[in-house]
């Protein structure tokens, strides 16, 4: 994972609510990256998994919110 991709994922994850364990993991990976200039394959895989899950949740929530809007409440 290159530095640009890593920073973009971290930036996007900062907007999402993470569990305590997710936050601890992200912080540990950030520290490892700062010290070593890279992440391990396993760290990359887990980080990508967290990111994909949060994107999926955001999309699912947006879809449900869109479906729950009352069409009769539109302004004329």
Integer Cα distance of 49 and 43 in angstroms? 10
User: Look-up: residue for tokens 């010290």?
Assistant: 35
In a domain, 62, yes or no: no
How much is the pTM? 0.73
Parent domain of 30: 3-55
Count of the separate structural domains present in the chain: 1
Integer Cα distance of 30 and 1 in angstroms? 13
What's the chain's average pLDDT? Answer: 85
Does residue 35 register a pLDDT over 90? yes
In a domain, 70, yes or no: no
In a domain, 29, yes or no: yes
Residue 49: partners with Cβ closer than 8 Å, 6 or more residues away: none
Integer Cα distance of 32 and 35 in angstroms? 5
What pLDDT is stored for residue 3 in this prediction?
86
Does residue 46 register a pLDDT over 50? yes
């Amino acid at each position: 994972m290159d530095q640009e991709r890593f920073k973009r994922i971290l930036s996007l994850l900062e907007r999402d609510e993470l569990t305590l364990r997710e936050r601890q993991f992200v912080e540990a990976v950030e520290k490892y990256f700062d010290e070593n200039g890279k992440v391990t394959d396993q760290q990359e895989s887990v980080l990508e998994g967290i990111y994909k899950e949060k994107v999926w949740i955001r999309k699912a929530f947006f879809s449900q919110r869109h479906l729950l809007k009352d069409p009769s409440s539109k302004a004329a």
